[in-house]
Amino acid sequence: MWWDQNLRRIALLELVITGSLNKRKRQSEAWDELIKLRWVRHTSRQDKLALAPEHRGKVEDLLGKVWPGWRCVAAALAANALQPIPSDLDELEDLQRQATIAVPLPPRLNQRTAIAAVGPHSKAVLSEQRLVALGSVDLTRDGIVRVRPHRGLQLRRAGTQLNLAEISAFLGEVTLPERALNAGLELAGPEPALVLLVENLGTYIDIPAPPDWLIVHVPGWNTVSPQLLLPRLPDVPVLLFGDLDPAGVEIAAHLQSVHPPLRWVTFDLWRTLLPAYAQIGTWPEDQDLRRAPPLVHELVRAHTWLEQERLVLNERLIGELLAVAHAATT
């Protein structure tokens, strides 16, 4: 039946309970159909219809067919001081769902798990009411920081210290979970001479680097985990090596906003790639380039982009990086 659709039957519920229906974009089909059936009358307000008294019985009969338990729903709404409108019906369902949680929530939960516990599904909006239901639960995204450790890096937690030399020699890299960092995991041993944030995975894995550098993967916009790591190294220079394209500009600006000392790496070696490797690419007219290096402005004027992977195997790359690092530390 056409009226089975949830937003349409909620419109009938509002009409029966309040005697009127407010206009909403989400319920426009029900609004138009009620006018066509002549079960409602226009009011002095353009955004409100009134139930025609002589058709109340028809509307109630229809509501009973498409929503047999509507009277119980109406009573529950009234008991919780809620209105028969879509947003309040969502809130009522949340309240009823939350009342069925049988055990206390743990102190820390993945955000998706938490939303699924107090909302209709794991990808629902984390509304204010759902946050209230979660109380003091610490919500995590459970990202990881992928790092290629510098020489001597150790991890310390709850009195135990772990030397990463053997692990990184065995695996090539180490992952630091967000939850562990939030739970007290500390970096120990000597500080790196420099932290190099690398945007793309292939470059992060393959880029040559001195043994006293800490190489950190920053996968695009997923910058939450590096934000957990960088405050633990407040006195270490941080360089960003990313693509020279519109997304790269925005990622660099975002990282600089959360870690102002960060320097975005560009160097003359990029220019040697322009004739052979530059990609034709459109730059948005409203792109904020106020903090972009001069080379980016040149690319904008030429309508081209550059990918960092093109530099990974270039024999001049390590020398260029060392020169930039020297400038950043002096």
Q: Which of 39-43, 98-102, 190-194 has the lowest mean pLDDT?
A: 98-102
Q: Residues 241, 303: one domain?
A: yes
Residue-wise pLDDT for 119-158, tens only, equals: 999 999 999 889 989 999 999 989 899 999 999 999 999 9
At 193, list the tokens: 């001479």
The DSSP result for 307-324, as a single string, is -GGGGTT-TTHHHHHHHH
Confidence of residue 210 (pLDDT cuts 50, 70, 90): very high
Distance CA 284, CA 250 (A): 11
> For the chain, how many structural domains are there in total?
3
Domain final residue pick, 71, 100, 129 = 100
What does the pLDDT read at residue 326? 80
At 190, list the tokens: 């000597």
Q: Residues 134, 181: one domain?
A: no
Q: Among 151, 235, 241, 236, which residue's Cα sits nearest to residue 203?
A: 241
Q: Residues 246, 299: one domain?
A: yes
Longest Cα–Cα distance in the chain: 86
What 3-state class would DSSP assign to 174?
strand
Q: Residues 59, 155: one domain?
A: no
Please answer whether residues 126 and 154 qualify as being in contact, where contact means their C-beta atoms are separated by less than 8 angstroms. no
Residue-wise pLDDT for 102-125, tens only, equals: 678 999 999 999 999 999 999 999
Residue 96 belongs to a domain with what CATH number? 1.10.10
Residue 39 has pLDDT above 90, yes or no: yes
Q: Residues 186, 66: one domain?
A: no
At 184, list the tokens: 């007290």
Length of the chain: 330
At 261, list the tokens: 């000392």
Q: Residues 93, 158: one domain?
A: no
Give percent above pLDDT 90 in the chain.
Answer: 75
Which range marks the domain in which residue 132 is found?
105-140
Q: Residues 15, 38: one domain?
A: yes
Domain final residue pick, 69, 100, 131 = 100
Residue 328 has pLDDT above 80, yes or no: no
Identify the sign of the CA torsion 180, 183, 186, 192. positive
Q: Residues 195, 259: one domain?
A: yes
Q: Among 158, 266, 153, 259, which residue's Cα sits nearest to residue 211?
A: 153
Q: Residues 175, 287: one domain?
A: yes
Q: Among 181, 99, 171, which residue's Cα sits nearest to residue 140?
A: 181
Q: Residues 175, 248: one domain?
A: yes
Q: Which residues does residue 216 pair with via DSSP β-bridges, in sequence order?
A: 147, 197
CA distances (Å), 113 to each of 64, 117, 135, 223, in order?
Answer: 36, 6, 14, 21
Domain final residue pick, 100, 130, 164 = 100
Q: Residues 78, 191: one domain?
A: no
At 33, list the tokens: 């159909």
pTM recorded for the entire structure: 0.79
Measure the CA dihedral 156/158/161/167, to 10°: -70
* Radius of gyration for the alpha carbons in the chain, expressed in angstroms and rounded: 29
Residue 300 has pLDDT above 90, yes or no: yes
Q: Residues 179, 192: one domain?
A: yes
At 73, list the tokens: 């729903």
